[in-house]
Amino acid sequence: MRHWVLKVALPVLLLLASTARADTAREQLDRFAQGLESLRAEFSQVVISTDNTVQDRSEGQVWLLQPNRFRWSYGGDFPELVVGDGERIWIHDEMLEQVTVKPHDDDSLDSPLALLTQPNRIDEAFEVREVGSWDEAQLLELRSRSGDTQFERFLLGFDNDEPVLIVIEDAFGLRTEIRFSSLERNPELDAALFTFTPPEGTDVIGTLPGDDESR
């Protein structure tokens, strides 16, 4: 399933690294996160296999409302919606008419938006290092300090104090590249963006509010 936690692997991007710019990726990340209450952006996402074959392309919009509400809307031939309402994460696959729901883990940093909005916590969970620049973005590499994680590493790319690129890799050789554009910082957002009710007739996998057992 394609969604915000898609697993990926990183090839030889780092061979193109350089350190010409004065402002490091970490400095830009810290400035971006400071005072951030909400954001809205467009994104494009590509999933690439170990042989560099593109497995999936998609585009959409993303919204964030601090501290832990978000919405990813994927368009195209396989529309999908991912909503975090602060307590649960809802993943709606429209083609399959299926909704997956799971509790929101407040302690998890294994998500793109958490990495961008909680820089004060990443040093605890990751080994962090600057790896220069690629495609005009300054890159920050994050490697998990724990062996109990589904991701090998992340790359966060910044340009002009804004996130422009996230690359995520796993041990299975898949790479997901997420590129942001038209980012708006601290816009006024409708709270309804961060609520979700499964459409009637949709199969629900997981635990709904008030349920004691998973379906």
Give the torsion sign (CA, 28, 23, 182, 188).
positive
In this prediction the pTM is 0.81
Domains defined for the chain, CATH in brackets: 12-206 (2.50.20.10)
As to burial, measured by CB atoms within 10 angstroms (0-12 exposed, 13-18 middle, 19+ buried), residue 143 is middle
pLDDT digits (tens, 9 = 90+) for 51-69: 899 988 999 999 999 988 9
Report the alpha-carbon angle 132-134-136, nearest 5. Answer: 105
What token pair was written down for 99?
């909704």
Mean pLDDT lowest among 48-62, 122-136, 143-157, 190-204: 143-157
